[in-house]
Each structure stands twice: as C-alpha cells, then as structure tokens.
C-alpha cells in the first residue's frame, strides 16, 4: 500500500465542478493530514470548521497496472466523505473516526492521469453519530489521517484476522476476494465479516488451484513457523492454525510483536500478500479483574482525545506516537481509553509497541439518535471499529455503547452481538454514568464522579453494578468535578492532584475495581455548552500542549523507575489566604522526604499507608516546617521545642486570629512556663511561620529512596527566569507526508521550577526548512506553552527561535 498524502488541492466550498477538475473559487495546495480550518487556542467557534469542503488529487496510473485491481483507502475523513474518481461518484462513508476503502478499477484510466476528489461534509450532521445533541469536545473537519493507493491482483486477500487463543497459538481467519471473476464462484461478498459461523469450519475444497500460506515472522523477519491451506472456493474464506513453543507472549511489560505474513498462490505463482501485526496474548475476566495471559493487570489509565492546538485532529504519525510515549514515559500509565471514538492507527501501533492497554469505543456522546439511519450507522461503526482495530494487541476491550447514553437494550444487544461475532477474543464494555443500568456487556464501565474532595474517592461496587460477577471499571472521574488550569493557584492545583490520587487510591484499595481511567490526559477545546467560558475544558492532568500540571505527578509517582518528585506548593505565603500555606504534598515514588530550610534539616516525612491503602506511592504530607529547628537553631530543650513547635505550627495552619482554644491555652502555658515575652513570640513567629525579613527562605525537599537522595527540589522566591524548550524530536523526516514536531515550552526559575505565574508572551519565528504551525505569539499560561513546526518538503536545517522578554 502506498500513501498518497502529498499533492492535494483543497477548497472550503465544494462544487460539483471541483470534482471534474474545474478551477473556480479559492483552491489551495495541501498535504494530508489536513484540517479544514486552523483554529485559535481559546474561544473557538465550533461553526468555523463546519463546512462542505473539497479535496482532489491527480493520480498517474501506469499502463503496467492494467489487469490489477485498484483501491483507495482513507484512514480518517471527518465526517461524511463522498469519493469521486474521474467524475464518477463511488462511495459515501459516514463516520469520521474509522477508515474506508473503495475500489476504482472500472473507473480508472490506465496509462493516464486520474482525478480523485472527495466531498467532505464536516458539519454536525444529526443523521450520524456522534451528532444530534450536545458534545463535550470539538469534532473538527478534514482528511486528517493518511490516504493510500493500492493495486492488487484480481484475486487477493481481502482481510485476515489473527486470533491468539493462547500465548503460543494463532488462528488466522482470512477472506479472499475475486475468485468469482476467475473461477465463476461466489467469493468476496460485500460483507466484510470474516467470521461468520460457516467460515469457522475452514473446509478445503478439492481441485481449488489456490493455496494460502501463513508465516509467522519475528522482528528480524525470520520465520518461526508456517502453515498452508487450500481455501474454500465458494466463500473465499478459510482458517489456518499455527503454534510454536518459540513464540513469546505480548504483555504490558514485554510487548513482543510478530508479523503474520499471508501469501496467496495459484499453481505456485505468488498472487498476493497481506501482513498483519500480531501480539500473542489472551484476555480473560474474573469477578473483579482483567487478566492478560492469565495474570491480573490493574488498568491505570487516563482518557485521551485526539486533538492538538491549532490543527485539531490533523497531525502526522510522530505526534500520534508522541502521545503514547507521554502516557507511558511521563505519566507512567499502563492504559488509555480512546474517548470517545477510535483513534489513529499510528497511536495504536505505538501502544502495541509499548504495551499500553487500550479501551477503544464507538463515536458518540450521551445521545442516541431516533432515526433508523442513525442506529444503523451506530451498528456499522461497531463493525468498522472491530474489523479495523482487532489486529492491535494493545486493544483489550470494545466500547459498544454510546458514551454515557441511556439504556437501549434493543440497540445494545445488536452492538454487543456484532462485536462478539467479529471478535470472539475480546470482552465488550460500554461507558455509563448510570448506576445499575442494563448490563449486556462483559465489563461494567462507570464514570464515577462521586468524589467531592471530602468523601471517599469512589463508590462501592455493590452500589454501582447490577452484576457483582462481572468486573467493574472506573471509566472517568474528576474532570468537570474540579476543572483546574495550569494558571490556577497552587492550592487548587494541589487539590486537583489529590483528587486524582484519591479516586485512584479508592479504586486500587477495594479489590473490586479492575481499573481506573481518570478524566483526562490534556485540556481540550469544546462546544459553547461546556468548558470555562473560553470553550476549553481544563480537565487535563496536562495542558493542551501536554505540559504537566501537578496532577500529572499524582499518576506518574505511582510507578517505580525514574525518580518522580513534585512539590505542590511554591512555599510563598503570599499566595495563600491569610498567609497560611497549610498542608503541602510531595508526589513522589521515593520512600520519604527530607525537608531542609536554608540547608538546615527540618524534618522527615513518609507516606501514610493507612489513609492511602491503595496507592503504591501515596502523596506524602508535609505539614511541619519547624521540625527540629527550635532545638538546633534556638537551642531549646526537647519539651520546650515540642510545645512551641506545636503552637507555631497551629499558628501557621489556622492563623493567629483563628487559633483554636486548645492552642491558645497551650501558647499561654508555654509563654509562662518558658518566660517568653510577646516580642520573643513575635520573633519566633516571623522566623518560623511567616518566614519574612532576613534572608530569603530556601526550602529544599530531598526525595529519599533506600537511604539515598534520588531527587531534590528547591523552592525559594526567584526573580531569575529562563526559557526551557523541549522538542518531541529534532531530526524531522519527510516520509509519507510532512513531519511535525511539538515543542513544549516552560518558563523556569533559577531552581528549574516552572514559574507558574510568569504568564509572559512568547514569540516564535522559523527559518530554513521549517514552517510554523499556529500562532507566532502565545502567552505562557501557568508559565507553560508550546508550538509546532513542520517540514516544508525541503532538505536542510531549519531553526525555530523562541523568545520572551
Ligand atoms: C463526562 C463525559 C466526558 C467529559 C467529562 C468531563 O460526562 O463522558 O466526555 O465531558 O464528563 O468531566
């Protein structure tokens, strides 16, 4: 298959003349992935990308291809795409989140130029999912995933599904197309289903001249084992089985991938080949668990949309892969839910490669359309999702309900049946906010928004599901319950992180949740009915550019491996009501935190495993900023130091004016007992609570693991800022289309902490073989922003210059 992403023309206004090659109106050259409209960062008008646009491309088809069958494949065109070849309308596809193929052998001009045109409707057409009501995300528009051209033999392998009933065994169910034209039989019906009951018998018919061979190739291309079969001539279908003791399983820890290569022969002549990625793993369920290869795995994930600033859905492969990298390496998750639609195969390929477990689902948001047409499309969406995504070992369950829709047994019986028939290897689920709703799926997925900050992190299983025998998942939590911006106060960002930690802790502690996907990976633009007034949902643990908020560390700190240390406060009393910093948390995977004030040891803090029964690394509470200092600095004896520390600590926490009576009494007693004057008290308060006057207070938090300092954070008032930029990659390569790099930018203080109130304008300029994507100027929100650059087709060096005053 060959990509044809370059050399397209685009018009914002489709006309019939456009598909016959006429040049009227405004037409510009574009490359795929493409967005119909570049958008601002905030206050996006969702009508601005809703249009009926046109794409067209000239394709030269050499004479040498005559006799071959020709196909076009679109991986993602949002939302209703009608394809024309040489002016002839061929097909209409009505789902912006799955791919489609169309054959154009008959319409093709061999040995000449062919005009491919696409009429693309990106309006929110209520006739198809996800449309018809409100949606809490933008649906954008464009041919935003790759387009392919393919020539195949007249008889070819249309599809194959490689199932792995055990970690050492494969069943390959395949479908040939075109035998009819050659042999006068009836193979390759329009039905894409390669798993009808009849096919499972895999019978071979005598006298058929075709032979299909399957070879299992490892990453070096060496064949581990093979098998061959004479396909059934009537249906063109068949089933092969392979097994080998040498096969290594695919698991989240060690995601070994193989290629299943199918070759079709006729009288020993090779006619066609098809390759599928395979990961050998099984999925099974117990009452409370999901098992991969028989081993329970708690799914620790986030929900992910597929959008980026400025360009919506339209980014090339590397940035799709980059999100998977961030999920695994930065957020340290083992799972992701592709809310609320199937996402790019590039993203899924990277999940396959990294061992990230994926919960994917059909497009939709709360609404089920009334019309038959809408429901039929919904069922078709299940079919397309399963057939197109079942070769990804990372996908471990199918979401076959419209996200958060009401019960509709009639519809959902059909979606469940469809998924199970097309894929007997994976469980179904479907996301609801309803408790005890009709459970037709194998797993109950529940958006648990019950946590308010003061109550338990999650509801109990018995209060949520109607069937205790099936596993329960938290498919969303937090989100709109506590929107938090990167430029919110430290207190709010800390509480955001704690809420994420509390829900996860509750889900992990009770042994009755199979996983927890919190809402969500990054902030996202949305429709007017949602968000913070600027049509942005600040629900992410990272911002739109994937810059981390404090909550990112609540997740990342759960994993061992590279040190994680995030301190939830800048330690500036002036940012807290009444100057009271109160409780500070360290989100870390260390064993304890050692706190130093101006290099003098204050105290050590460890995790409270009673409060946090589920997390492997609970947030560590730091609530004593005086610690040893009264002894070491003021030379107070133990009992005096302890009493005064208590009183000063309480003064710091509640403020002098609101000191609880018990502490007032303690303080009175201490002053009498140790002959402290008012001015002594005032001095001690200033030095140990207010921390004002004198030298700037420098707090150092050392993260200690196995007795060693593995990370250290220093917080102090800072006036020295610098820019920090991190590119997803700097060696950009034009391959199947342009390449694009994400550049995340932060303004850091002299101790390399994000200067979260440095909301400075940052400007971008490029030179050489690069093009800037989006705005030339962006405000550092919460001290963080980003930009994107893409290749122009030229070879050479390109420079992005980032400046801030
Ligand atoms: C859920 C919904 C998500 C998102 C989230 C915000 O109800 O499924 O798409 O809107 O709320 O918290």
- Averaged over 50-63, what is the pLDDT? 98
- Averaged over 175-197, what is the pLDDT? 59
**CB neighbours of residue 406 within 10 Å:** 14
Which residue's CA lies nearest to atom 4 of ligand 1? 136
- Is pLDDT of 14 > 70? yes
Model confidence over 91-142: pLDDT tens digits?
999 999 999 999 999 999 999 999 999 999 999 999 999 999 999 999 999 9
How much distance in Å is there from the Cα of 736 to the middle of ligand 1? 35
Q: How far is it, in rounded angstroms, from Cα 142 to Cα 74?
A: 11
Asked about 404 being catalytic, the answer comes back as yes
Which residue's CA lies nearest to atom 5 of ligand 1? 479
Q: What is the pLDDT of residue 234?
A: 84
Q: Are 446 and 465 in contact (CB under 8 A)?
A: yes
- Contact 539 CB / ligand 1 (< 6 Å): yes
Q: Which atom of ligand 1 is nearest to the CA of 537?
A: 6
Judge if pTM exceeds 0.85: yes
Q: What is the pLDDT of residue 188?
A: 43
3-state secondary structure of 634: coil
Q: Which regions of 104-209 does DSSP assign to beta strands (E)? A: 112-121, 142-143, 147-152, 156-166, 169-177
- Is pLDDT of 587 > 90? yes
6: pLDDT confidence band, cut at 50, 70 and 90?
very high
Q: Which atom of ligand 1 is nearest to the CA of 366?
A: 8
Q: What is the pLDDT of residue 87?
A: 95
Q: What is the pLDDT of residue 694?
A: 72
Question: What are the C-alpha distances in Å from 731 to residues 56, 165, 521, 741, 801?
Answer: 30, 41, 26, 9, 16
**Best mutation site among 138, 483, 519, 530 for ligand 1, i.e. most ligand atoms within 8 A of its Cβ?**
519
- Contact 341 CB / ligand 1 (< 6 Å): no
Model confidence over 267-319: pLDDT tens digits?
999 999 999 999 999 999 999 999 999 999 999 999 999 999 999 999 999 99
- Averaged over 715-741, what is the pLDDT? 95
**Best mutation site among 365, 447, 499 for ligand 1, i.e. most ligand atoms within 8 A of its Cβ?**
447
191: pLDDT confidence band, cut at 50, 70 and 90?
very low
- 444 Cβ contact partners less than 8 Å away, ≥ 6 residues apart: 429, 432, 464, 465, 466, 467, 470, 471, 472, 473
**CB neighbours of residue 731 within 10 Å:** 7
- Is pLDDT of 202 > 50? no
**Best mutation site among 130, 133, 136, 448 for ligand 1, i.e. most ligand atoms within 8 A of its Cβ?**
136
208: pLDDT confidence band, cut at 50, 70 and 90?
low
User: Taking all residues of the chain, what is their mean pLDDT, rounded to a whole number?
Assistant: 94
Q: How far is it, in rounded angstroms, from Cα 518 to Cα 496?
A: 12
Q: What is the pLDDT of residue 688?
A: 87
Which residue's CA lies nearest to atom 10 of ligand 1? 136
Q: How far is it, in rounded angstroms, from Cα 723 to Cα 381?
A: 46
25: pLDDT confidence band, cut at 50, 70 and 90?
confident
- Averaged over 474-478, what is the pLDDT? 98
- Averaged over 44-56, what is the pLDDT? 97
Model confidence over 489-546: pLDDT tens digits?
999 999 999 999 999 999 999 999 999 999 999 999 999 999 999 999 999 999 999 9
- Three-state SS string over 674-739 comes to CCCCHHHHHHHHHHHHHCCCCCCCCEEEEEEECCEEEEEEEECCCCCCEEEEEECCCCCCCCCCCC
**pLDDT top residue among 455 and 232:** 455
- What percentage of the chain reaches a pLDDT higher than 90? 88
Lowest mean pLDDT of 147-156, 234-243, 499-508, 546-555, name the range.
Answer: 234-243
Question: What are the C-alpha distances in Å from 111 to residues 59, 62, 73, 108?
Answer: 10, 4, 21, 9
Q: How far is it, in rounded angstroms, from Cα 625 to Cα 689?
A: 8
192: pLDDT confidence band, cut at 50, 70 and 90?
very low
């Amino acid at each position: 298959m060959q990509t044809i992403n370059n050399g397209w023309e685009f018009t914002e206004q489709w006309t019939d003349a456009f598909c016959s090659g006429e040049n009227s109106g405004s037409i510009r050259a574009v490359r795929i992935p493409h967005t119909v409209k570049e958008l601002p960062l905030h206050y996006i008008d969702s009508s601005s990308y809703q249009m009926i646009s046109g794409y067209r491309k000239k394709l030269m088809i050499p004479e040498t291809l005559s006799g071959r069958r020709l196909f076009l494949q679109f991986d993602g065109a949002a939302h209703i795409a009608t394809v024309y070849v040489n002016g002839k309308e061929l097909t209409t596809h009505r789902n912006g989140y799955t791919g489609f193929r169309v054959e154009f052998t008959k319409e093709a001009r061999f040995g000449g130029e062919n005009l491919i045109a696409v009429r693309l409707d990106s309006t929110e057409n209520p006739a198809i999912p996800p449309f018809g009501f409100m949606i809490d995300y933008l649906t954008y528009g464009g041919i935003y995933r790759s387009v392919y051209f393919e020539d195949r033999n007249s008889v070819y392998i249309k599809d194959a599904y490689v199932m792995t009933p055990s970690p050492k065994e494969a069943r390959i169910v395949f479908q040939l197309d075109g035998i009819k034209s050659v042999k006068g039989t009836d193979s390759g019906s329009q039905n894409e289903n390669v798993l009808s009951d009849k096919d499972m018998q895999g019978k071979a018919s005598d006298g058929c001249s075709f032979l299909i061979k399957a070879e299992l190739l490892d990453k070096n291309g060496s064949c581990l084992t093979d098998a061959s079969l004479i396909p059934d001539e009537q249906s063109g279908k068949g089933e092969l089985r392979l097994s080998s003791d040498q096969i290594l399983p695919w698991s989240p820890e060690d995601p070994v991938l193989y290629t299943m290569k199918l070759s079709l022969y006729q009288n020993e002549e090779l006619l066609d080949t098809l390759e599928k990625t395979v990961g050998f793993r099984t999925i099974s369920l117990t009452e409370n668990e999901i098992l991969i290869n028989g081993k329970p795995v708690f799914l620790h994930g986030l929900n992910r949309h597929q959008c980026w600033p400025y360009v919506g859905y339209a980014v090339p492969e590397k940035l799709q892969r980059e999100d998977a990298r961030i999920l695994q390496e930065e957020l340290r998750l083992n799972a992701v839910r592709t809310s609320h639609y199937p996402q790019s195969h590039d993203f899924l390929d990277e999940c396959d490669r990294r061992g990230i477990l994926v919960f994917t689902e059909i497009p939709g948001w709360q609404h089920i359309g009334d019309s038959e047409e809408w429901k039929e499309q919904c069922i078709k969406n299940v079919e397309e999702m399963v057939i197109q995504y079942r070769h990804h070992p990372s996908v471990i369950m199918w979401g076959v309900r419209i996200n958060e829709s009401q019960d509709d047994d009639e519809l959902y019986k059909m979606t469940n049946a469809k998924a199970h028939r097309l894929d007997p290897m994976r469980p179904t689920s479907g996301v609801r906010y309803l408790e005890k709703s009709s459970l037709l799926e194998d797993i109950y997925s529940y958006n648990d928004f019950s946590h308010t900050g003061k109550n338990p992190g999650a509801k109990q299983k018995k209060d949520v599901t109607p069937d205790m025998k099936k596993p329960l998942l938290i498919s969303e939590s937090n989100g709109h319950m506590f929107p938090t911006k990167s430029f919110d106060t430290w207190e709010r960002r800390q509480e955001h992180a704690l809420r994420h930690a509390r829900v996860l802790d509750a889900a992990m502690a009770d042994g009755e949740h199979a996983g927890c996907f919190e809402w969500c990976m990054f902030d996202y633009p949305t429709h007017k009915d949602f968000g913070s007034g600027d049509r942005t949902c600040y629900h992410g643990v990272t911002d739109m550019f994937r810059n981390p908020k404090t909550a990112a560390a609540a997740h990342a700190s759960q994993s061992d491996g590279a040190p994680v240390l995030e301190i939830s406060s800048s330690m500036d009393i002036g940012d807290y009501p009444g100057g009271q910093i109160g409780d500070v948390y360290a989100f870390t995977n260390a064993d304890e935190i050692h706190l130093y004030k101006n290099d003098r040891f204050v105290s050590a803090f460890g995790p409270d495993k009673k409060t946090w029964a589920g997390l492997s690394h609970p947030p560590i509470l730091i609530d004593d900023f005086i610690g040893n200092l009264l002894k070491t600095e003021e030379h107070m004896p133990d009992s005096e130091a302890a009493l005064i520390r208590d009183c000063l600590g309480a003064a710091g926490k509640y403020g002098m004016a609101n000191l609880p009576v018990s502490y007032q009494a303690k303080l009175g007693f201490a002053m009498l007992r140790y002959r402290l004057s008012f001015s002594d008290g005032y001095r001690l308060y200033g030095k140990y609570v207010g921390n004002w006057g004198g030298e700037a207070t420098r707090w150092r938090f050392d993260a200690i693991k196995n007795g060693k300092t593995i990370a250290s954070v220093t917080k102090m008032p800072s006036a020295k800022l610098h820019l920090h930029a991190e590119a997803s990659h700097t060696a950009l390569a034009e391959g199947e289309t342009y390449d694009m790099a994400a550049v995340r930018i932060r303004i850091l203080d002299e101790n390399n902490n994000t200067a979260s109130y440095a909301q400075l304008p940052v400007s971008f300029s490029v030179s050489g073989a690069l093009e800037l994507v989006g705005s030339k100027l962006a405000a550092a929100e919460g001290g963080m922003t980003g930009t994107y650059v893409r290749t122009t087709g030229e070879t050479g060096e390109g420079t992005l210059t980032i400046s801030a005053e």
